[in-house]
Amino acid sequence: MQHFPGKLCWRVLLLILCPSLVHHQAVAVERPAQITDLKIGFNGHYKVGYWTPVEFTIQGGDRHHQCRCSVTVPDGDGLPASFEPVDRNKLQIPADQNVTYRTYAKFGRIQGNLVIVCSDDQQQLIHREFSEAQIPAGLPTTSPLVVHVGDWPEIEQSIHAIQRRHINVANLESVDSLPDHWWGYEGVDSLIITCGDPEIIAALNSVQVDALQKWIQMGGKLIFSVGRHAEQILGPKGILRELSPGKFVRTVDQCQTIGLENFTDVSHQLNVGRDELGRCELALALIQQPAGIIELAEREGFESRPVLIRQNYGLGQMVFVAIDLNQSPIKHWKGRERLLARLLEWTLGSETEQAFSASIGAVKHTGYDDLSGQLRSALDQFQNIVFVPYWVIAVLVLLYLSLIGPVDYFLLRRFAKRMEWTWLTLPLIVTAFCVIPYVLAKQLKGKHFQMNQVEIVDIDIDSRFVRGTTWVHAYSPATSNYDFSTQTQIPCQSNPLDQHTALISWQGLPGTALGSMNAASLPAGPSHPYSIRFPRNHSPSPSQITEMPLQVWSTKSLTARWWGEIDLHFMTDLRSQVDKQLRGSVLNPLDDDLTECYLYYAPWAYQIGRIAANRTITINSSSVRRNLRYKLTRRTLSEESNIMTPWDEYSQNIPRIVEMMMFHEAAGGKSYTGMFNRFQTFIDLSRHITSGRAVLTGRTSQPASSFQCDRESGSNQHWTFFRFVLPVSRTKSAVQADRLQIDTEVAGSNIP
């Protein structure tokens, strides 16, 4: 009984500690949310330097969470950049449930780590890092990427069978992974949609369709094939009815196919069978009043039926194929690969396998092989900032070595007669050569933050669509972190820009040169990422960059893409005659003068000069015009010579570089410049001026958008270019001539 109080105390103590021990054990075994799956791009295909879809699955833990998620990847300079959408709604992660989340990021290296972080208002809930071995490697910036949606399993083999193995193909048999914002398609060079299985396309939702349409308007290129199931796809309730190039009437049986055989230039006949009811096996979507160019038509009786229609859709292009490419009888036709090759030439160009292979790994003396690289080099020239030539540095090094060696020895031995003084003269010389370059650098490099800006504003009059593209180079006089944003204001008070949205990010250098995005090595940089916030849920939320690090006397390349709507239907009245010459008038709707104006309409370039604000000019037979190719290549004609000015790849003339980017294909492409224009091909509107549209170009003194920084800037430079894509009507004689040509071609193609 003497030990009873002691035993009682121990029992009471255990009873007190048990709840805390149980609670501690419960906390320790709580199951957190975690990421279980990651998908990048389109079936693992994506290109560096472009916005890319990133989709991951979160497995819920024991508790319900609300959080925001960011994706961190290296930028074009190898620095970590964190991408997070501007969204008021938080991601809901229910307990014990899986949630799939789609966001977007811009990869700056072919190989690099990826970090996903999800946090609530108080703490970090999920942190998952994927090494470069765990994620698919990106494709080079200028490597062509074709994405196919539909039931065509062997499309990759079909494309590679036509000697275009350099084309990367992502085949999607489901629409689940298609982006819900247009910039998810930014790295796609050509999208192919085939509707042989209508259930695949019918699964599209309205948000995905809107993203697809916006991407084409922004400069995307689509090949759209639909035949037997056209009513379900293009009919009044069809999910893609807005992509019809004209009025869809009905699906008809097409028996004659000689036009297709002649178009593909193959000797294999297309055998069109008949079903048990005697109907032809080939179904055709009959389109009336097509808005584009009829590249191929077949005749059935006295009726001419369009088969291939090329149409400008906003600032992009669409090729409509009125038959099923992945269904019988086309499916078993040996000419299908050749037909596919012709379609890809319209969307990708006619670059050969040999030309592409020769460009891989090649590094020019300039450090770039794409026009965007030349523009980047030109934007790196800032006012009042002097770059010391290499020969000056070499002279200073030789002078330094001479002073600390033979000169110091000679002076002390000849005049001072005391060689021990070298312990004094040597530190003085070293100190002088440290202080003098530093002082000179401070004077030559400037003390103010500066920005150089180039922007191209494209306005499609028919669709009221506006697209802006801005390139900015920022110069930092000191090591610091910067915040950037952008504001848009077109100088047109009578018709302001409606519902515009901007997308801001870094701009990389294509190629394999030092500092380019295809380089394998990653430079050392800060471990803490800077932030890039982009809009989400189709709201005009501000896009911005925060805490971007810049080293002393360094530059950073940035870019912005913005879009919206504006009503300028009244501004033009142009008519094309039989000889392709224009007549009519053009109004400058801006509240600023347009200078250095040209009106492009193949095969002519009309020199206009200056159009005052809100003024109209007339285009008639007396207007000064030149051959389009001659104007772009600066070709001069005389009785004795015909000289073309060669392209200067070292030139830093920004207006000239921008002009070539805007119409590179019309100037002859790589055969003229010796350079590619692959990185931002959407800038090139050559196909528009050769397909029945006119493009008015000019410069304004006022910028249409401006990059804003949280620091005061010094003398900024800007170049603003406007392009108006104008509809052109045809005179009666021109229409009759075109109809006669089409009827002749169709009739000729049906002659055995």
Residues 86-101: pLDDT tens digits?
877 889 999 999 999 9
Report cis status (omega within 30 of 0) of the bond before 329: yes
Residue 745's pLDDT band, with cuts at 50, 70 and 90, is very low
Least trusted range by pLDDT, from 20-24, 236-240, 367-371, 710-714: 20-24
Between 364 and 431, whose confidence is greater?
Answer: 431
Domain 29-139 has CATH 2.70.50.60: yes
If you average pLDDT over residues 173-193, what whole number do you get?
95
Q: How many CB atoms lie within 10 A of CB 633?
A: 20
Options 3.40.50.880, 3.90.245.10, 3.40.50.920, 3.30.70.890; CATH of 142-362: 3.40.50.880
Between 12 and 577, whose confidence is greater?
Answer: 577
Tokens of 80: 């970590």
CA distances from 122 to 95, 125, 682 (A): 19, 9, 43
Residue whose pair of structure tokens reads 């269904």 in the numeric block: 327
Helices (H), 380-421: 390-402, 408-411
Report cis status (omega within 30 of 0) of the bond before 603: yes
Between 739 and 86, whose confidence is greater?
Answer: 86
Under 8 Å CB-to-CB from 346, ≥6 apart: which residues?
A: 310, 317, 319
Residue 299: DSSP 8-state: E
Q: Which helix (H) or strand (E) holds 24?
A: helix 4-28
If you average pLDDT over residues 674-678, what whole number do you get?
91
**Domain residue ranges in the chain:** 29-139, 142-362, 390-445, 569-702+711-736
Portion of the chain with pLDDT greater than 70, in percent: 87
Whole-number mean pLDDT of the chain?
86
User: Rg of the Cα trace of the chain?
Assistant: 32
Tokens of 417: 């007669």
If you average pLDDT over residues 591-606, what whole number do you get?
94
The tens digit of pLDDT for each residue in 400-451 reads 888 888 887 887 777 777 787 888 888 888 888 888 777 777 777 778 899 9
Tokens of 411: 């002076």
Residue 324: DSSP 8-state: -
Per DSSP bridges, beta strands 480-488 and 625-627 are: unpaired
- Tell me what pLDDT residue 539 has: 58
If you average pLDDT over residues 477-493, what whole number do you get?
88
Instruction: Quote the CA–CA distance of 63 and 541 in Å, as a whole number.
Output: 31
If you average pLDDT over residues 364-368, what whole number do you get?
70
Residue 414: DSSP 8-state: I
- Tell me what pLDDT residue 56 has: 95
Tokens of 12: 């009471």
Residue 749's pLDDT band, with cuts at 50, 70 and 90, is very low
Residue whose pair of structure tokens reads 């709507």 in the numeric block: 565
Residue whose pair of structure tokens reads 């279980």 in the numeric block: 36
Under 8 Å CB-to-CB from 265, ≥6 apart: which residues?
A: 338
Q: How many Å separate Cα 268 from the centre of its chain?
A: 39
- Tell me what pLDDT residue 441 has: 73
Q: What is the DSSP string of 430-482?
A: HHHHHHHHHHHHHHHH-SSBEEEEEEEEEEETTTTEEEEEEEEEEEESSSEEE
The tens digit of pLDDT for each residue in 242-276 reads 999 999 999 999 988 999 999 988 888 888 888 77
pLDDT > 80? residue 310: yes
Instruction: Quote the CA–CA distance of 391 and 521 in Å, as a whole number.
Output: 29
Between 364 and 121, whose confidence is greater?
Answer: 121
CA distances from 282 to 152, 199, 327, 565, 643 (A): 17, 20, 9, 41, 52
- Tell me what pLDDT residue 572 has: 75
pLDDT > 80? residue 40: yes
pLDDT > 60? residue 554: yes
Interior angle at CA 14, CA 12 and CA 17, nearest 5: 115
Answer for the pair 299, 274: CB distance below 8 angstroms, yes or no.
Answer: no
Residue 543's pLDDT band, with cuts at 50, 70 and 90, is confident
Per DSSP bridges, beta strands 98-106 and 114-119 are: unpaired
If you average pLDDT over residues 729-740, what whole number do you get?
61
Least trusted range by pLDDT, from 19-33, 293-307, 372-386: 19-33
Residue 688's pLDDT band, with cuts at 50, 70 and 90, is very high
Instruction: Quote the CA–CA distance of 273 and 45 in Å, as a whole number.
Output: 38
Residue 404: DSSP 8-state: I
pLDDT > 80? residue 483: yes
Instruction: Quote the CA–CA distance of 706 and 721 in Å, as a whole number.
Output: 14
Q: Which helix (H) or strand (E) holds 625?
A: strand 625-627
Instruction: Quote the CA–CA distance of 605 and 628 in Å, as a whole number.
Output: 5
DSSP-derived 3-state class of residue 354: helix
Residue 665: DSSP 8-state: T
Residue 732's pLDDT band, with cuts at 50, 70 and 90, is low
Between 25 and 691, whose confidence is greater?
Answer: 691
Closest CA to 285 of 343, 240, 346, 344: 240
What are the counts of helices (DSSP H) followed by strands (DSSP E) for the chain? Answer: 17, 35
Instruction: Quote the CA–CA distance of 326 and 336 in Å, as a whole number.
Output: 9
Answer for the pair 299, 746: CB distance below 8 angstroms, yes or no.
Answer: yes
- Tell me what pLDDT residue 279 has: 81
pLDDT > 60? residue 740: no
pLDDT > 90? residue 296: yes
Residue 13's pLDDT band, with cuts at 50, 70 and 90, is very low
Answer for the pair 724, 571: CB distance below 8 angstroms, yes or no.
Answer: yes
If you average pLDDT over residues 601-620, what whole number do you get?
93
Handedness of CA 684, 689, 693, 699 (dihedral sign): positive
If you average pLDDT over residues 274-299, what whole number do you get?
88
- Tell me what pLDDT residue 537 has: 66
Portion of the chain with pLDDT greater than 90, in percent: 55
Instruction: Quote the CA–CA distance of 84 and 92 in Å, as a whole number.
Output: 16
Intrachain domains 29-139 and 142-362 with the same fold: no
Instruction: Quote the CA–CA distance of 149 and 44 in Å, as a whole number.
Output: 15
